[in-house]
Amino acid sequence: MRKYIIPFICYMLILVILLNVGTITDFLAKTISNKPVLTVNKGNEYTKDYDFLYIKNSKDYIPYSYKDLLEIIYSVINQGWDEFTFYCPSEYTDCIDDIADITKDELTLTHINNFVHPYNSFDSIKTSITESGEITITIVYLYSQEEINEINEYVNNLINELYKKDDNDYENLKRFHDYIINNTKYDVTRNDTKESPYKSFSAYGIVHDGYATCNGYADLMSIILSKLNYENYKIATTKEEISYESNGHVWNAVKIDDKWLHIDLTWDDPVSSDGKDYLYHKYFLVNTEELNKADSGNVKVEEHNFNTTIYQEFMVTS
């Protein structure tokens, strides 16, 4: 009986090794090289595979500068990961301080969030940092899967109804622009009091309730643009960038025929003093010069005074 014990034990050891070969290999690689092994998974179906002038997808997730850290954070959000751990290399001595600064910089995180697909945009983002330089990013996303399913059904039906393959970009996008405005009311209550029975800060507020603030308008248009394979993002002018009392503003940017143009459904769907519904095209597929011209008048307007060092596509093309 004893002569079978040793072969059996050897067999079990080999079996354990085979079943855990990946873990053991990672451990040995880390031990021999003294460098952590990153686990990088594939992004979800809403990941944008194109880059922007301000922010790009990270190539290796090893930071050596402040810019690298921003691109790692953007990439994690853009990929739709719930959690990701990476490490500060010894060569980057300010890495821990820099990531701590970025974590506290809500404005920068807000702007980065505008470049991802709305379904991958975060509601909250948490970063844990160890003294050894291990950094874990944890994301809570804005949209639930149930909301995504409902919005996708709405958008797919809308595309089947409104999109005509023989029409040009202007004609097709104008139909979506007009449909959203004609079927949405601006949520004045949320804008004034920060509270509302509707999820008007997201595309779900339009789909489910027919109410939106600028975030909701911009998200739904971005979802449609992405579904139709247009490169796009959202532009934000935050309240910190406006000299008078304002909550800031968000609208869309879309690339058509190698030119970046603005679409602002919110301002083409004005809240009127007479209670009537109006539909404008003053802010539909316009360049920055035309955007500023539409803003001109007796009232000082700063909601479209966006930061061109962030939304750089308009710095070089308009």
Predicted confidence band of residue 241 (pLDDT cuts 50, 70, 90): confident
Range of the domain at 186: 145-317
- Among residues 126, 141, 156, the one where a domain terminates is 141
- Among residues 141, 175, 193, the one where a domain terminates is 141
pLDDT higher for 245 or 227?
227
In a domain, 71, yes or no: yes
Q: Are 216 and 130 within one domain?
A: no
Given the DSSP bridges, would you call strands 249-256 and 232-237 parallel, antiparallel or unpaired? antiparallel
Predicted confidence band of residue 276 (pLDDT cuts 50, 70, 90): confident
Range among 12-16, 102-106, 241-245 with highest mean pLDDT value: 102-106
Please write the tens of the pLDDT for every residue from 127-145: 999 988 999 999 999 999 9
Identify which of 102, 290, 256 has the alpha carbon closest to the alpha carbon of residue 281.
Answer: 290
Please write the tens of the pLDDT for every residue from 56-96: 999 899 999 999 999 999 999 999 999 999 999 999 999 99
Phi/psi for 276 (5° steps) reads -85, 155
Identify which of 83, 80, 170, 153 has the alpha carbon closest to the alpha carbon of residue 118.
Answer: 80
User: Are 186 and 212 a contacting pair, CB within 8 Å?
Assistant: yes
Beta strands of 52-183 (E only): which ranges?
83-87, 122-129, 134-141
In a domain, 7, yes or no: no
In a domain, 201, yes or no: yes
Please write the tens of the pLDDT for every residue from 2-24: 555 655 555 555 655 555 545 44
Domain count of the fold of the chain: 2
Please write the tens of the pLDDT for every residue from 292-301: 999 988 777 8
pLDDT higher for 213 or 1?
213
Q: Are 248 and 135 within one domain?
A: no
- Among residues 113, 141, 169, the one where a domain terminates is 141
pLDDT higher for 25 or 218?
218
d(CA 21, CA 27): 10
Given the DSSP bridges, would you call strands 211-212 and 185-186 parallel, antiparallel or unpaired? parallel
CATH code of the domain containing 305: 3.10.620
What DSSP string describes 60-71? SS--SSHHHHHH
Which helix H or strand E contains 211, and what residues bound it?
Answer: strand 211-212
Q: Are 128 and 277 within one domain?
A: no
Phi/psi for 32 (5° steps) reads -70, -45
Query: pTM here?
Result: 0.87
In a domain, 26, yes or no: no
DSSP type of residue 231: -
Q: Are 194 and 163 within one domain?
A: yes
Distances (CA, A) of 61 to 34, 36, 65: 17, 12, 11
Predicted confidence band of residue 315 (pLDDT cuts 50, 70, 90): confident
Q: Are 136 and 160 within one domain?
A: no
Task: Determine the pLDDT at residue 297.
Answer: 80
Mean pLDDT taken over the chain: 89
Q: Are 43 and 149 within one domain?
A: no
